[in-house]
Amino acid sequence: MRRFWDVGALLVIVFSFCLTACDAILTPPPQTPTSTPTSLSFSGAKATPTIIPGTFLTPIPPTPTFTPTPVPTPVVHVIEQGDTLFGIALEYGVSFDALVRVNGLDAEQILRIGQTLVIPLDEEEESVVPGIAAPVNNLILPTPTPLSLSTMEVVLYKTPVGGFWCMGEVLNTTGMPVTNLQLLVTLATVDGTPLLSQVALAAADYLGSEQRAPFAVLFQNPPAGVSDVATLRCHVSFLRSEPVGEITAGFVALNTEDVEGAVSGPQYRVRGNVVNTTDTAVQRIVVVVTLYDIDEKILAYRQIVLREEQVLDVGQMQSFSLLLTPQGIAVPASFQVLAWGNRAD
């Protein structure tokens, strides 16, 4: 009897040992973490990660900063009392057409005091090859030897934007009417070193004996460092000057009457009448007015066309009125008026 109990007790002990061993296998001991896991903090629906100190992130390239391409500051002119589109174009050395086009104006538009105009200094200049005649009816006319004419009182004026106006006059000393007056004007240093050259036409299709016709050239972009008028000179030579021939025989000189001039604000106004005292009707009448200072140096000139299509019969007259903007600071002391027309027949 004691033997059976001993065996039963032994079996109970073995069974308990097995159960203890099975628990050790099915429930492993917890592992100690080696690092702290990344945690997330939430604010509403947006998650903001908390970065673990010591971790390395690939930086996001910075967004390129937009740098606008620099453009030249435009030159502007604020309209004052007495300003005109033509006068402003002459003052800054730009073409009248470019000034009107860039500012979206009408050629006859009335300007307002305080109005701002952009000065089109970047307009491309027309290039002219000296000595090459312009095509006429698809033919290149031969260039004759220029007649011997003189130039008078060639002067230089500096523009508000750094360019230079070279102005002067052609004097007809040939004893006969001349036409097609083409000149080569060179800007040079006082020692004669040439800097720039341009071709100019004198403002006269028909120039009688002993008459004078103005011309002007704008050197808009002089070389760097050239800014003082006193260190510069203008040299003029003739490329063409011809007697009135078969092609130009239609030009006729016209007289003027009741001409008067007076200061008009910052400008000068000249008005009068063109009279047809010839023996034929004329059309496309051209009037050129030139202003002078007390030393007979040219201050300004302007050319207008009257009756482009209409005919001015013998004995009739046509009124004209021009505003001119003088260069420099001298007050105009005198003026000259030239007028001519084309035969209407």
What SS3 string covers the chain? CHHHHHHHHHHHHHHHHHHHHHHHHHCCCCCCCCCCCCCEEEECCEEEECCCCCCCCCCCCCCCCCCCCCCCCCEEEECCCCCCHHHHHHHHCCCHHHHHHHCCCCCCCCCCCCCEEEECCCCCCCCCCCCCCCEECCEECCCCCCCCCEEEEEEEEECCCCCEEEEEEEECCCCCCEEEEEEEEEEEECCCCEEEEEEEECCCCCECCCCEEEEEEEECCCCCCCCCHHHEEEEEEEEEEEECCCCCCCEEECEEEEEEEEEECCEEEEEEEEECCCCCCEEEEEEEEEEECCCCCEEEEEEEEEEEEEEECCCCEEEEEEEECCCCCCCCCEEEEEEEEEECC
Q: Is the pLDDT of residue 198 over 60?
A: yes
| pLDDT in the model for residue 104 | 82
pLDDT of residue 244: 83
Q: Which residue has the tokens 């600071």?
A: 329
Say what the pLDDT of residue 143 is.
57
Confidence class for position 231, pLDDT limits 50, 70, 90: very high
CA distance 15 to 7: 12
User: Of 91-100, 136-145, 247-256, 300-309, where does mean pLDDT reach its minimum?
Assistant: 136-145
Q: Is the pLDDT confidence value at 221 over 50? A: yes
pLDDT above 90 coverage of the chain, percent: 40
| Euclidean distance between CA atoms 158 and 229, whole angstroms | 7
Domains 75-119 and 143-243 alike in fold: no
Contact 119, 161 (CB under 8 A): yes
pLDDT score of 93 more than 90? no
Query: Hey, what are 137's tokens?
Result: 């009816």
Residue 59: the pLDDT is 40
Supply the CATH classification number for the domain 75-119: 3.10.350.10
The pLDDT tens digits of the residues spanning 38-81 come to 333 333 343 334 333 333 333 434 444 434 333 345 677 888 87
Q: How far apart are CA 213 and CA 181, in angstroms?
A: 9
Q: Would you state the pLDDT for residue 27?
A: 44
- Residues with Cβ < 8 Å from 218, sequence gap 6 or more? 93, 159, 163, 164, 165, 166, 198
- Flag whether pLDDT at 123 surpasses 70: no
Model confidence at 293: pLDDT above 90: yes
Q: How many angstroms separate the CA atoms of 71 and 60, rounded?
A: 33
Give the residues across from 207 on adjacent strands: 178
pLDDT at 7 > cutoff 70? no
Least confident of 76-90, 144-158, 162-176, 258-272: 76-90
**For residue 49, what pLDDT is reported?**
40
Read off the pLDDT band of 128 (50, 70, 90). Answer: very low
Domain boundaries, the chain: 75-119, 143-243, 251-343
Contact yes or no for 254/302 (Cβ under 8 A): no
| Predicted local distance difference test score (pLDDT) of residue 269 | 92
On whether the 143-243 domain is CATH 3.10.20.30, my answer is: no
Contact between 278 and 147 (Cβ < 8 Å): no
The pLDDT score that the predictor gives to residue 91 is 74
pLDDT at 270: 95
Dihedral Cα 160, 299, 95, 262, nearest 10 deg: 110
Mean pLDDT of 24-46: 42
Fold observed for domain 251-343: Immunoglobulin-like (2.60.40)
Query: Residue 112's pLDDT is what?
Result: 84
Residue 271: band (very low, low, confident or very high) from pLDDT cuts 50, 70, 90: very high
Q: Which of 208, 209, 160, 214 is nearest to 185 (CA)?
A: 214
Where is average pLDDT lowest: 22-26, 111-115, 182-186, 198-202? 22-26
Mean pLDDT of 110-125: 75
* Residue 130 confidence (pLDDT) above 70: no
Q: Please give the residue that has the higher pLDDT: either 99 or 232.
A: 232
Neighbours of 196 (CB within 10 A): 17
Provide the pLDDT for residue 96: 80
Distance CA 183, CA 173 (A): 16
How far from 210 is each of 16, 172, 264, CA to CA, in Å? Answer: 146, 5, 30
pTM: 0.64
How confident is residue 169, by pLDDT bands cut at 50, 70 and 90? very high
pLDDT band of 132, cuts 50, 70, 90: very low
Average pLDDT (214-219) is: 93
- Sign, CA torsion 121/127/130/131: negative
Tokens of 321: 């009125």
- Check residue 87 and give its pLDDT: 76
Instruction: Tell which phi-psi region holds residue 44, choosing left (phi > 0), alpha (psi between -120 and 50) or beta.
Output: left
Does residue 26 have a pLDDT over 60?
no
